[in-house]
Each structure stands twice: as C-alpha cells, then as structure tokens.
Amino acid sequence: MGFAAGERRAVWTLALTQALGYACFFYIFAALLIYWQREVWLSDAVLAAGPLLATFVSAVVAPAVGRRVDRGGAVAMMAVGPVIGAVALICLALSGGVAGWFLAWAGLGVAQALCLYDVCFGLLIRRFGATARGAITRVTLVAGLASTLAFPAGAWLAGGWGWRFALWCAVAVVLGAMLPLQIWAARVLVRGTVAAAVARDVPRLRWGEVLRMPGFLLLALFFALVNLNHWMLVNHIRPMLEALQVPDGTAILAASVIGPAQVLGRVILAGMGARAGTAAASWATVAALLLAPLGLLGALGWAGAAVGFAACQGIAMGVVTILRPVLIAETLGQQRYGAVAGMMAIPGLAAMAVAPLIGTALEAVGGVWLMIGTGFLFALAAAGALAARR
C-alpha cells in the first residue's frame, strides 16, 4: 500500500484519536464503574443499562452514518462526534440522576457511531480501496491499547480526585487532542480520495437491496455469532473463572491478557501481510474461538490454562476487527461501503448488547458450563456461516 505525502502521519494520527475515543467514550464505563457503584445513588441495573442504551443508539444511527460516509461526509462526522461525546461526558459529570445518566449514554452512543471504527474504516476504504487492510491494521494496533490507557488513567484520576474530575479530564482530552487531530487526519485522507468528487451522487441504498446482496446475510450472521461468543464469555470471565476455582490473581491476569492478545493478533496479521488472505484469517479467527474452551477445561487441573482461554479470545477479536471492514468491502463492494457496513453493524451491535444478558441467564439456569458450551456452539455456528459463504 502506497501513501501520498502526509498520509502515513494521517493514518497514525487516526490510530491515536481512535484510541482516545475508545478510552473516553467506550471503556470509560468499565474504568469508572466501581466509583459510580460506591458514590452514585443508582442501582446496578440502571448503571449497566447505560452502555446498553449507547450500543442500541449506535446501532440505530449506524445506517444513516454509513450513508453520510458514502456521500463524503466523514470529515464532518469525525468533527461533530467528539463534540457530542464531550457534551455527553459533561452531562455525566454534572448529573447524578437516572434521566441524566441515560441522556449521557444516549449521547455517547451517537458519538461512538459518528467518530469511531466504522466511520474511520469507511474513510480508509474510500481512500485506499482494496489495499486498505494495511491502514486499518495500523489504526487497530494503536486503538487496541485504549483499555490499557483507560483503566490506569481512570483509577489514578478517580482514586485521587474523584470520578467527576476523571470525566472532566476526559472532556479535555476529547476537545483538546482528539477533535483537532482527527479533523486534520481526516482532511488529509479525503484530499487523496478521488471518489470524494462524486460522492454526493451515490444513490441511497435501501434495506431490500442490501438483504438481496449475495453474501450479506451470511456475513452479518458470522459477525453476530462471533460477537455473541466473545462478549458473553469475556463479560463473565471473572465469575466464570471463580466458579472454576481459578485463584483471583490468575483470573485477573487472564482478564488482563485479552487486550494485549488483541494487539498480538493484529501484529501477527500485519506481519504476514498479503500471505494471509482474508479467508485464511477468518478461519484462523474461528479456530481460536473453538480452541478457547480447552483453556477452561485445562484450568480444572492447572489454573494457568485460563490465560490460554483469554489469549485465544483476544487474538480472535483482534483479527476480526480488521477483517470486518475488509470482508465487507471484498464481498459487497466498495462504492457504498458506508451504507452496507452501517446496516451490517446492527446485528453485530445487537449481539454485543444482549450477549452478557444471555450469559447471565444461562449461568443462572445451568451454571458456567452451560454458558461455556453455548459459547462453543456460537463459534461452531460461525464456522458454519463462514463455510456457507464459499
């Protein structure tokens, strides 16, 4: 993949702004949850419903956002998104009630849809076309460290000066760093996009057309099943490992491995370059998800095997983050990538939202092994959807 003057810096700058965006708009909940539980007079159910609302809102607006990307509106959305996100964070900092909580998370859902991965990847695919995987990999390598940034920063700021101060710091980061850097990088990439000159002539894509596209339903099913597997098991990793009698220290280590393992998966994919086609990488993802439960079985005899489970899950999701935009572009075309990707985001985001609830229900009915077995079946079904695409 060749970069024009300044584009290499623009891609790496986008990588940084995506890391900041995910840290401030996505991981902020997990980073500050224990402080909210201690100090905010909201039930755990209301607290947990905030990110679910954000995911729902993001899914609802995703198709419209995708259409704007196709019409050359990526720069505007990547400028507006951080502002909306900053306002939502301010709302979180100022409000202690239920209405303010949900209003803030609805705003964060809009911000996530406007300026995180989907819009960023749409911009990169419009600029680099079939060779966009290299740029996408660069972005995800850095953005994958967002949780590594959010958790220690949140603990330090909230532990020392309170969770409201941590939120105000996030607002400063978003408006002072993410916003100007993201606008600059997006403008640089748009200048090199020939298609931008005729972007406004792209016809509106309707649901009926998308559903009739060869491969759309199977691809959407594949991503939804992968999300169900990953987010169900990962969201329950601590209680799941506790039920398997894995010591707390090892369980914390396993949970901490997931983020670095995502980066490792992306590094491996980047290192292999063109030698690793999208089909082979997709099968490697499914294989990792199918192998992951072996780590849990092994943990019955040796607790350290649980780290292998977490590593497999992390590597799989690290790779699939890159594969998703590439597979959509390869399978369904690049001209209206934004609209198609936005529509495909709906089942994936829905799966991500309901996966923890499914895990909770399964664990209550049949214990952790029912949940683990169901996760394995989700991975097996994903393999079936992938095979049916051929």
pLDDT of the chain, 390 residues: tens digit per residue: 556 668 889 999 999 999 999 999 998 888 888 888 888 788 878 888 888 899 889 988 988 888 888 888 889 999 999 999 999 999 999 987 899 999 999 999 999 999 998 899 889 988 888 788 888 888 988 888 887 788 888 889 988 999 999 999 999 999 999 999 999 999 999 887 654 444 555 556 666 666 777 778 898 999 999 999 998 998 888 788 888 988 888 888 888 888 889 888 888 887 776 566 788 888 999 999 999 999 999 988 898 899 999 999 999 998 998 888 888 888 777 677 777 888 888 898 889 888 888 888 898 899 999 999 999 999 999 999 999 876
The answer to whether the predicted template modeling score (pTM) of the entire model surpasses 0.75 is yes
Separation between Cα atoms, residue 11 and residue 5, nearest integer Å: 12
Q: Which domains does the chain have, with CATH numbers?
A: 7-135+143-201 (1.20.1250.20), 212-388 (1.20.1250.20)
